[in-house]
Amino acid sequence: MISIVTFLARFHFTLFLGALLFSGSRRYRFILFFIALFWCEATVAQEIDFLRSGTIRVIEVDFTAPDPIKIKIKRDGYPDQTYPSPAWSENSPSSPVAFVSGHSVKVLAKFTGCKGPIYIKGDGPGIYDPPISSKPIKIDPNTSIGLYEESLPTFEANKVDFFEPFEITWYYSNTAIGPWALVVNKSENLLMVTHKEPLSKAPNNVTAPISLSNWLTDIVNPEWI
């Protein structure tokens, strides 16, 4: 499968060569035919080589929003600790995250395994798909890591949601319109959306953390839901 831009470029170039083929001598026709054939083969091979140039992996995913849109979650059994970032990492347990409905959150993801600039997009639950990256993601030559940073669609206002898990299938390409290839792994973590902002505040006026067990047993303060 090839991108639309590449296809149209090849198509118009082939039309141009075709006009020459039927207007020139037989000798030139054969020469132009093999030039067109070689050019098409080379461009197809170039895209295939890119998609096979590395094993693209997502290594870290996090979700961010300003306080009080993003709500900290206390670790059960550790009242003085909240779950750390990132929300998901391929080398450590995932962390639950919580947000207030009616807002959008930013997705930060790190990818590795490709030498050149790439475009990234994701397939999440329902309408909550991480969009195509707005610009090519450059791969740091020192770390071999590229950073994706885009916003999810806004969570529906006044609606409680509980994604267990919030799973994202990731894709990459060398153009913003494809073709798209699968990233070899997925990311997933627990994501919760509250009805509105909590009433309780910590002494420093920062939103007080909630307890994960309260969510799971449905005994959170009614003002939350």
**Each residue's pLDDT tens digit, 11-62:** 555 555 555 556 556 655 555 555 555 444 444 444 444 444 458 999 999 9
Say which range, 70-79, 97-106, 173-182, 185-194, has the weakest mean pLDDT. Answer: 70-79
Token digits of residue 49: 């080589």
- What DSSP line would sit under 42-65, residue for residue? HHHHHHHHHHTSS--EEEEEEEE-
- What DSSP line would sit under 115-174, residue for residue? SS-BEEEEE-STT-PPPPPSSPBPPPTTT-EEEEEEEPPPPPTT--EEEEEEEEEEEEES
Say which range, 13-17, 120-124, 155-159, 179-183, has the weakest mean pLDDT. Answer: 13-17
Contact 2, 42 (CB under 8 A): no
Token digits of residue 99: 């947000």
State whether residue 198 is helix, strand or coil: coil
Q: 77: burial class by Cβ within 10 Å (0-12, 13-18, 19+)?
A: exposed
Handedness of CA 87, 90, 92, 94 (dihedral sign): positive
CA 155 to chain centre: 17
